[in-house]
Amino acid sequence: MDLLYHSTRNSTPAVTASAAILMGLAPDGGLFVPEKIPAFTFPAEALSSMSYKETAYEIMRLFFTDFTPEELKGCIDRAYGKRFDIPEITRLHEAGDAWFLELFHGETIAFKDMALSILPHLMTTAAKKQGVNDEIVILTATSGDTGKAALAGFADVPGTRIIVFYPKSGVSAIQERQMVTQKGANTFVAGIRGNFDDAQAGVKELFSDREFGAWLASRGKRLSSANSINIGRLVPQIVYYFYAYGRLLEAGKIKAGDEINITVPTGNFGNILAAWYAKQMGLPVKTLLCASNENRVLVDFFKKGVYDRNRPFILTNSPSMDILVSSNLERLLYAVSGEDCSAVSGRMQELSRTGVYEITKEMQEKLGCFCSGSATQEETLGQIRGLYEKTGYVIDTHTAVASFVYDSYRRETGDETPTVIASTASPFKFTRSVLGALEPGFPDLPDLELADRLSGISGVPVPAAVSGLKDAPVLHDTVIETAQMKELVRSVLSD
């Protein structure tokens, strides 16, 4: 019996994993969820000797049950190989009171590579299984990292096209440069004059635009999403929490069955939701610590049970977390509402109508394993400096938000459970901010020269993803208003 998926807003019809991966978003605008979150089936001790690829296979096969073992292993092999700069794919680094899970060893030196290097393969395999011959058009809104990671993953993958929208003044200079220098005949990148939420809303609108869908179909194309709402993004992210547990076992820091805490710097709620799925599958996780920057929507949600996006959108030094509508929260809402699709869809309607929704006391009680906290931009920089002075380890601004929130949590609660912090980007991706923390008053040089300076301080070589940007030509220079997104997509796809 295959594990089936249905929308968070409507439990029928249910579709197979490959159909859900291919569609991305459910037709009613909801997110695909498995009918039941599978329990992991191997003894926890086994994790201590499993490689990343082995762990990936054992987790993904429980979710993607309509893939054959050969298909799934093929996807995993193509994804987790030479594109990563360490053979282990990810590793744990102990610093201060926590274990930093370095998820930034892929092509774009940020954690989204972990899932986006496999998604194109899951998707093209899914298309074959579904007998779909249409060209798959990936339409993505990005706050910086998703865009480049998706571009890198899909570039020149036969049968696919990718169009990425990013907020023109809402990403770092290096993030922008990474995207506008993207090679690949099937890639298109455009800046929009608006913030990430505007870009995401524009993309969502296109997905639910029937007339546009029909136009695409008449041209032998279909839309899919590489955003973290795709179940093919979420499931690969569950893997590294199991892998991290295995490394703690292997190092003798915990015994099988011991609980750990996980702290995640959070934006769209995909990464921390994957950790919650890992917990539901049976991984011994005590507390999930949700760390926000100054855009504290999620902290207020966990503390008060009210989601309220009506507030100023703050551009911070952790831009990939500058988000007011965390899409993946809908999946958690579905679970804590007792899988009540109408409760979810009612609240999502309220959110789009008024910008606010409230959850019941019962729902709030089911969120007991979550804690939350936030860091200001000053606190973020102070955390980078403090950790460096104490341990010599340099972290990026997003990871620093999580590290700050964890240190506060540990001080306030006295909870000394071994804790994994998801380290979501290399410090070389946010060089200017990180140097500002380590060397206030550093000379105003171009970002790429600052990378050399950061390398001198941290003792870590400049990653190829950054050094290679120096001579790369700009291949994409389109900038548009949010209202022009549809028109642009039409013209890109008309040729």
Ligand X SMILES: *Cc1c(COP(=O)(O)O)cnc(C)c1O
What share of residues in the chain are helix, strand, coil (percent, to 5)? 45, 15, 35
Closer to ligand X by CB, 266 or 337: give it: 266
Among 8, 55, 263, 266, binds ligand X (CB under 6 A): 266
Alpha helices by DSSP H, listed for 251-327, are 270-281, 297-304
Q: Which of 361, 395, 377 is nearest to 296 (CA)?
A: 377
Measured CA distances, 263 to 16, 31, 133, 151, 275 (Å): 32, 24, 41, 28, 9
Closer to ligand X by CB, 402 or 488: give it: 402
Judged by CB under 6 A, the stretch of 60-68, 179-187, 255-263, 264-272 that binds ligand X is 264-272
CB of 63 to ligand X, least distance (A): 18
Measured CA distances, 213 to 28, 115, 224, 361 (Å): 14, 26, 11, 40
Q: In 3-state terms, what secondary structure has residue 429? A: helix
CB of 292 to ligand X, least distance (A): 10
Phi-psi sector, 243: left (phi>0), alpha (psi -120 to 50), beta: alpha
Closer to ligand X by CB, 249 or 335: give it: 335
Closer to ligand X by CB, 4 or 299: give it: 299
Q: Compute the distance between CA of residue 429 and CA of residue 451 in angstroms, rounded to an integer.
A: 9
Partners of residue 262 on adjacent β-strands: 288, 420
Residues 389-428 that bind ligand X (CB under 6 A): 398, 424-425
Q: Compute the distance between CA of residue 175 and CA of residue 450 in angstroms, rounded to an integer.
A: 15
Report the amino acid identity of residue 125: T
Judged by CB under 6 A, the stretch of 80-88, 268-276, 305-313, 483-491 that binds ligand X is 268-276
372 touches 287 (CB < 8 A):
no
Q: Compute the distance between CA of residue 318 and CA of residue 303 in angstroms, rounded to an integer.
A: 22
Closer to ligand X by CB, 15 or 465: give it: 465
The CA R_g of the chain, rounded to the nearest whole Å, is 21
Burial of 475 (0-12, 13-18, 19+ CB in 10 A): middle
Q: Is 110 in the site for ligand X (CB under 6 A)?
A: yes
Closer to ligand X by CB, 320 or 337: give it: 320
Residues 62-91 that bind ligand X (CB under 6 A): none
Measured CA distances, 472 to 158, 190, 211 (Å): 24, 18, 39
Judged by CB under 6 A, the stretch of 41-49, 170-178, 261-269, 475-483 that binds ligand X is 261-269
Q: Is 124 in the site for ligand X (CB under 6 A)?
A: no
Site string for ligand X, 316-345 (x = CB under 6 A): ----xx------------------------
Q: Output the CA torsion 79→85→91→94 (10° steps).
A: -160
Q: Is 436 in the site for ligand X (CB under 6 A)?
A: no
CB of 246 to ligand X, least distance (A): 22
119 touches 226 (CB < 8 A):
yes
Q: Is 145 in the site for ligand X (CB under 6 A)?
A: yes
Among 269, 357, 404, 409, binds ligand X (CB under 6 A): 269
Among 170, 236, 265, 427, binds ligand X (CB under 6 A): 265
Judged by CB under 6 A, the stretch of 198-206, 213-221, 265-273, 369-377 that binds ligand X is 265-273
Number of amino acids touching ligand X (CB under 6 A):
16
Out of 112, 204, 279, 429, pick the active-site residue: 112
Annotation marks residue 253 as catalytic: no
Judged by CB under 6 A, the stretch of 86-94, 267-275, 307-315, 358-366 that binds ligand X is 267-275
Among 34, 202, 246, 270, binds ligand X (CB under 6 A): 270
Judged by CB under 6 A, the stretch of 1-9, 22-30, 254-262, 269-277 that binds ligand X is 269-277
Closer to ligand X by CB, 336 or 425: give it: 425
Q: Is 271 in the site for ligand X (CB under 6 A)?
A: yes
Residues that bind ligand X (CB under 6 A): 110, 112, 145, 228, 265-271, 320-321, 398, 424-425
Catalytic residue list: 112
